Amino acid sequence: MTRGPTLFNRISVFLGLGFLYAPIVLLVVYSFNASRLVTVWGGFSTKWYAALLKDQQMLDAIWITVRLGLISATAATVLGTLAAVALVRSGRFRGRTLFTGMLQAPLVLPEVILGLSLLLLFVAMGLQRGFWTVAVSHATMTLCYATVVIQARLVSFDRALEEAAQDLGCPPIRAFFLVTLPGIAPAVAAAWMLAFTLSLDDLVIASFTAGPGSTTLPMRIYSQVRLGVNPEINAVSTLLIAIVTLGVGIATLVQRRPKGVPRG
């Protein structure tokens, strides 16, 4: 860039980011507010975090949500890797158009529709709704995101590397594990994280597909929020934001290549 940003550019960026971050910052700040009222600053306090630790229902919801995220993200990443390999490496195969359609539709479709359709499936199958129905639903939704992330990396992955491995005596599947997988590992990790975060975040699909005893954290938050602003929710939200920020930060550092080194 020979020309720097103009004043207008700077103001746009400042206002835009301010708009994006102000509510989050306020939320975080007020999670440390001793007063229950939003507009009154009653001094710094961590009492809402302490209250959180005593709220067994909230802790149960957190535990369920984390387990859900771990399981559904892992399933989605495995399936997404397979799907990405099929899309990038198999050329034109029978059913490819349908396959791509099924992989892309959930990315844009309203969650309400996905949730409703999955619920109807579980009802039709006569399945008791609970932890596993949510896990399957989340894996289905996040599998599409995982595929997109891995596919993008796989497309730019030099196919000659796989061929070289085969040329040196590796059967194709072994070549995939020895050469391709290490090459796309950052994308696989990013896909897993994305899937985990989406699962952690989902309210709508979980509401449709969860049963008694599988109330997730967003469902818990939602039911509390409907009753109004609650400092305890501020605290749990702040914790979630901190965890996600930390995770994204670490992921960015890991993925960043060492400077000044040509690409291999």
- 77-136 residues in contact with another protein (CB under 8 A) are 79-80, 82-83, 85-87, 89-96, 98-99, 102-106, 108-114, 116-118, 120-121, 123-124, 136
Asked if 57 interacts with another protein (CB under 8 A), we say no
Q: Exposure pattern of 204-234 as b/e (b: 16+ CB <10 Å)? A: bbbbbbbeeebbbbbbbbbebeeeeeebbbb
CB of 238 to another protein, least distance (A): 9
Q: With respect to another protein, which residue has the nearer C-beta, 158 or 254? A: 158
Look at the block and give the residue holding tokens 């709508």: 204
Label each residue of 135-189 as H, E or C: HHHHHHHHHHHHHHHHHHHHHHCCHHHHHHHHHCCCCHHHHHHHHHHHHHHHHHH
The whole-angstrom separation of Cα 234 and Cα 239 is 9
**Shorter beta-carbon distance to another protein: residue 56 or 97:** 97
Is 226 among the residues that bind another protein (CB under 8 A)? Answer: yes
Given the complex with another protein, which of 44 and 93 has the nearer CB atom? 93
Q: Which parts of 150-209 interact with another protein (CB under 8 A)?
A: 158, 160-161, 163-172, 175, 179, 182-183, 197, 200-201, 203-204, 208
User: CB 195 → another protein: shortest distance, Å?
Assistant: 12
The tokens for 230 are: 């609650």
C-alpha 208/C-alpha 109 separation (Å) is 16
Q: Can residue 51 be called a binding residue for another protein (CB under 8 A)? A: no
5 binds another protein (CB under 8 A): yes
Q: Given the complex with another protein, which of 25 and 51 has the nearer CB atom? A: 25
In the bound complex, what is the minimum distance in angstroms from residue 166's beta carbon to another protein? 4
Which lies closer to another protein via its Cβ, residue 66 or residue 170?
Answer: 170
Picking from 97, 90, 83, 218, the residue whose alpha carbon sits closest to that of residue 145 is: 83
Nearest-angstrom CA–CA distance, 7 and 60: 50
Cβ closer to another protein: 19 or 44?
19
| Distance of closest approach, residue 112 Cβ to another protein, in angstroms | 5
- Amino acid code (one letter) for 54: K
Question: Which one-letter amino acid corresponds to residue 219?
Answer: M
Is the CB of 54 or the CB of 263 nearer to another protein? 263
57, 212 Cβ separation under 8 angstroms: no
Half-sphere exposure at residue 46, Cβ-oriented, CA atoms within 13 angstroms:
4
In contact, 207 and 191? CB cutoff 8 Å: no
Please tell me the count of residues contacting another protein according to CB under 8 A: 111
What the block records as the tokens of 130 is: 């609970």
> From residue 8 to residue 47, what is the string marking binding to another protein with x (rule CB under 8 A)?
xxxxxx-xxx-xxx-xx-xx--x------xxx--------
> Using the rule CB under 8 A, is 143 a contact of another protein?
yes
**Distance in Å, CB of 231 to another protein, minimum:** 10
